Amino acid sequence: MTSLAELAERVDAAARDAKAIAQLTTDIPDLSVDDAYAVQAMSIRRRIDRGERRIGVKMGLTSRAKMIQVGVDEVVWGRLTDAMLVEEGGMIDIARYVHPRVEPEVAFLMKAPLAGTVTAVEAMAAVEAVAPAIEIIDSRYENFKFALADVVADNSSSSGLVIGSWNAPSVDFGNLGVVLYVNGRPAQIGSTAAILGNPVRSLVAAARMVAQWGERLNPGDIVMAGGVTAAHALKPGEVVRADVERLGSVTLTVKR
């Protein structure tokens, strides 16, 4: 029997070394989502033990269409560490990833603790600011094939984040136009409403889901609300910019 700790070591090594691995569910077909979250927690604990610091959470599968596509009725979440932060306008090396993709998002900065069942009003009362963001997602599985439990165990595919300028939370961000540009040309177009109808619903879900694992959103935490558009697969030399109406833009460059 393969233990959950051994699975955590496997996904941690895959992320650290940028080496593709076989699906966990190949060896353990009945791996549950709860067990996958336990694997995720243990893998992130390994990072923290190496000196990384938890800085927030990311939400995934926040598109209704994506939920239907993969046959789930709940979003997923992962943990963010300071090692995942990429400076706005900075450069990344594609060699550090297995299947790197980017999604335009909205990010929240927390000013007060938040956990458990909360309303949208209560959630926003705990928010210091909102910003345009890009998430770098990277499934570490061979041939980009995985089941839901595989994704969750692999930190819900979270690998990096780029945050733009922070805005007052009073900005109405419920239905803003979003364009993802690659080398100056539009690659994806969408609306922030693609995030569960309104990104604040993703924040509400984050508070509920972290509490289920005995955690909370802390002051200073970043919450990535989820992808607005389909993900774009990165290539060397690309310059990626996400423009979010009213919130601004955020950029990263891929090393040649």
207: domain CATH number? 3.90.850.10
pLDDT at 201: 97
pLDDT at 2: 79
The distance between the two most distant Cα atoms of the chain, rounded to a whole number of Å, is 52
Task: Give one DSSP letter per residue of 150-179, joined into a string.
Answer: HHHHTGGGEEEEEE---B-TTS--TT-EEE
pLDDT at 214 over 70: yes
Query: Count of domains in the chain?
Result: 1
pLDDT at 22: 96
Tell me the mean pLDDT in the region 54-58.
Answer: 98
Number of H helices, E strands in the chain: 7, 13
Which residues on neighbouring strands pair with residue 81, listed in sequence order? 54
AA letter at 13:
A
Tell me the mean pLDDT in the region 78-83.
Answer: 98
77 with 58: CB under 8 angstroms? yes
Mean pLDDT score across all residues of the chain = 95
pLDDT-derived band at 79 (thresholds 50, 70, 90) equals very high
pLDDT-derived band at 74 (thresholds 50, 70, 90) equals confident
137-193 tens-digit pLDDT: 999 999 988 999 999 999 999 999 999 999 999 999 999 999 999 999 999 999 999
pLDDT at 109: 98
pLDDT at 64: 72
- What domain range is 114 assigned to? 4-254
Tell me the mean pLDDT in the region 214-234.
Answer: 96
109-128 tens-digit pLDDT: 999 999 999 999 999 999 99
pLDDT at 78: 98
pLDDT at 67: 72
CA angle 77, 81, 83 (to 5 degrees): 135
> How many angstroms separate the CA atoms of 90 and 64, rounded?
32
pLDDT at 69: 59
